[in-house]
Structure 1
Amino acid sequence: MSEQLILTIANQFGIKPASVKKIRKGVYRVISTGGVVYSLKRMPKSPAQLRWIDRVLRGVRKKGIRLAWRNPQTPEGRKLYAASPRGGLYVLTPWIAGRMPSPRSLSEMRACGVALGRFHRAGSGAIKRHFAYNQTGAWPSILRARQRDLQNKVAKAKRNGFARTAINRFVRLHGPEMLRYANQAKALLRSSGYFSHRHRPRKRGVLCHGDGGPSNFVMNASGTYLLDFETLHVDLPAYDLYRVIYNSCKDHRWNFKIAKAILTGYRQASKLSKTDYKLIGVWLRFPRTSCLVLSSYERFPLTEKNLHWALSSERKITRFLQKLKQYAATHSS
């Protein structure tokens, strides 16, 4: 999108931009002529879902939770969203200055866990008043769909359907191992207690960020802020914890100390049961990284090197889950 179109969208919020910088696809840093810095972000949601997101986040912020979201008491915050000429919806939020937490710092990972736990607790009242977009019952269908996609990729390799011979060979050789991990995830789901939890979403569910990880937290002198709410929905707390643990550990050789710090921080603000830990393990066991590489995900191009890295990552999760089970044995409510 051209800078002129971004300026036009920003004008709809009543601000006059002095400069615009693209941060990544769909996200721009806008500095007004008065020197105030904002984040302009595309939200691929319907107006109805944006209104729901706005209602619950405003309710959460009243509990003292730090969020990068609009303040309707300010002139630029009165408008929930603006539309591009092609109909894309954008939100304007304050730009939170600070830095992304590092998985190498256990204290920063604990802070992220605390922030997530507080977010879940504060969101309980908001979703009871505005219960919608519930995905607590969708886990089996999501896992089945991902497993079918993986099966299709393995079948494609058997037909030599990938462009490179080395990739076809690798997937034919190691595809059964990937599928075994997918079956293990489904078995863990059946034995986890999920099927009783999913029938009580108003009691068991939380306001779920949906894509937590180091890039969706910002730390500064005021505390730890949560960002980017396009994946906000109602779900079980284990799903959010899985996302934060996955996104924090996958690039750090699945060092369990990182996950332990996140979980310990979370428990300072909210309780975790043995079932919660089992549910975290369901998603961690599914070979998500291998699936992303095989789909040539933007961050993980389909190369033989990335396939080796992904499979190595899946194998490390076996030991990681054993440590998670040990932690759960002594840290469950």
Structure 2
Amino acid sequence: MIKHSINGVAKQFGVRVRQQMKIRAGIYRIVTPDGRTLSLKRMPKGVGRARWIDRMLLRVRQSGSLLAWRNPNRPEGRRAYHLSKKGEIFVLTPWISGRKPSPRSLADMRACGVALARFHEAGLTALKGNFAYSEMGTWFATLRKRHCYIQTKMANARRNGFSQPINRFIKQHGPEIIRYARQAEELLKSSGYLNYRRHPRKHGILCHGDGGPSNFILNDEGTYLIDFETLRVDLRAYDLYRIIYNSCKDYQWDFSIAKAILDGYRQVAYLDKRDYKLMSAWLRSPFSTYLVVSGFKRIPFTMKRLRWALDSERRIGPFLEELDEYAASPSS
């Protein structure tokens, strides 16, 4: 959006803009004339979803969870959202100063685990009487969709649909990747997921949906959760999978990172043996390969990235063995 458009949206919240900075597409850091720093963010969901997200987060924050969300007691926080002239939904939240946690710091990872568990525990109360936007029944379909997409890319490689190096790489390693995809589906079948899916109100919780180092902020007040456009009802294992994947994928799947997250989480909430099985099913799915062949902007479809993805998929096997040992330990 251009500068005067941002000013116009902010004005709807009763905020004047002295300075603005585009963080990335749809997210702006704005400074008011009196020096307050706020985050103006476009929400990709519809109005109904935005209202639901707002209700849930206001309830969760009542429990003391640290969230980057509006304060209805502040003038700029009195409205949950506003629409731009193009009909885009924007929310205005405090800008949380601090630093992002580092997977190299096990203390940071434990703090993230604690914060996520507190969010989940608070979300159990928030969901009462408002069980909507559930993704609990979609797991098989999601894994199968990714599996089929990778198979389509393999078929294109057999027809020499890419550069010769990429064609050769996919032809050589494609069967291995498909084997991992099938293993993920088998793990899901044996995890107890079908029983969970049949009883969503018993097992579902409020999930962030995209946990990872970039969605936490550490400062002197504690550990904040930010960016809630993916808020959903799901199983706690899904959120744990996301934070473990996003924290470990660029660090050679060092299990100590995941252990720190899980140790922190278990300081607050109990994890059942089935939770670990559910995490394993998602982790075994060749998501890194899927991201590369899908051509996401931040992960281009190149030979370098294909090699990175294959190395990642191969490291997950030993990683899951360590996760099984962790789940079986007396302290888990």
Q: TM-score range by the shorter chain?
A: over 0.9
Question: Quick check: 1:7 aligned with 2:7?
Answer: yes
| Cα gap change, 1:331 to 1:228, in 2 (>3 Å) | farther
Secondary structure in structure 2 of the residue aligned to 1:160 = coil
Question: 1:332, CA displacement in angstroms?
Answer: 6.9
Which residue identity does 2:240 align to in structure 1? L
Which residue identity does 2:254 align to in structure 1? N
Match of 1:23 in 2: 23
The residue correspondences of 1:169-318 to structure 2 (distance < 5 A) are 169-318=168-317
Secondary structure in structure 2 of the residue aligned to 1:198 = helix
d(CA) in 2 for partners of 1:261 and 1:216?
17
d(CA) in 2 for partners of 1:129 and 1:33?
41
Match of 2:74 in 1: 74
d(CA) in 2 for partners of 1:131 and 1:140?
21
Question: 1:62, CA displacement in angstroms?
Answer: 0.2
d(CA) in 2 for partners of 1:295 and 1:153?
9
d(CA) in 2 for partners of 1:291 and 1:98?
33
Question: 1:227, CA displacement in angstroms?
Answer: 0.2
Secondary structure in structure 1 of the residue aligned to 2:309 = helix
Secondary structure in structure 1 of the residue aligned to 2:21 = strand
Question: 1:85, CA displacement in angstroms?
Answer: 1.6
d(CA) in 2 for partners of 1:12 and 1:332?
52
Match of 2:62 in 1: 62
Question: Quick check: 1:87 aligned with 2:87?
Answer: yes
TM-score under structure 1 length normalisation: 0.98
d(CA) in 2 for partners of 1:331 and 1:6?
54
Query: Bigger shift: 213-222 or 80-89?
Result: 80-89
Which residue identity does 2:28 align to in structure 1? Y
Secondary structure in structure 1 of the residue aligned to 2:114 = helix
Which residue identity does 1:182 align to in structure 2? A
| Cα gap change, 1:300 to 1:176, in 2 (>3 Å) | same
For 1:274-320, what per-residue CA distance to the aligned partner results, in whole angstroms no more than 9, with x for missing partners? Answer: 10000000000000001111111111111101100110000000000
Ranges in structure 1 where 5+ consecutive residues have no aligned partner: none
Q: Are the aligned partners of 1:274 and 1:332 in contact in 2 as well (CA < 8 Å)?
A: no
Q: Are the aligned partners of 1:272 and 1:332 in contact in 2 as well (CA < 8 Å)?
A: no
Secondary structure in structure 1 of the residue aligned to 2:198 = coil
CA RMSD of aligned residues (A): 0.9
Secondary structure in structure 1 of the residue aligned to 2:151 = helix
Q: Percent identity?
A: 58
Question: 1:236, CA displacement in angstroms?
Answer: 0.3
Match of 1:96 in 2: 96
| Cα gap change, 1:262 to 1:331, in 2 (>3 Å) | farther
Secondary structure in structure 2 of the residue aligned to 1:30 = strand
d(CA) in 2 for partners of 1:186 and 1:29?
42
Which residue identity does 1:161 align to in structure 2? G
TM-score under structure 2 length normalisation: 0.99
d(CA) in 1 for partners of 2:220 and 2:312?
35
d(CA) in 1 for partners of 2:56 and 2:129?
9
d(CA) in 1 for partners of 2:9 and 2:250?
36
Ranges in structure 2 where 5+ consecutive residues have no aligned partner: none
**Count of residues in Structure 1 that have an aligned counterpart in Structure 2:** 332
Match of 2:109 in 1: 109
d(CA) in 2 for partners of 1:156 and 1:33?
56
Question: 1:129, CA displacement in angstroms?
Answer: 2.4
Which residue identity does 2:200 align to in structure 1? P
For 1:181-202, what per-residue CA distance to the aligned partner results, in whole angstroms no more than 9, with x for missing partners? Answer: 0000000001111111111211
d(CA) in 1 for partners of 2:111 and 2:255?
16
Runs of 4+ in 1 over 3 A off after TM superposition: none
Match of 1:323 in 2: 322
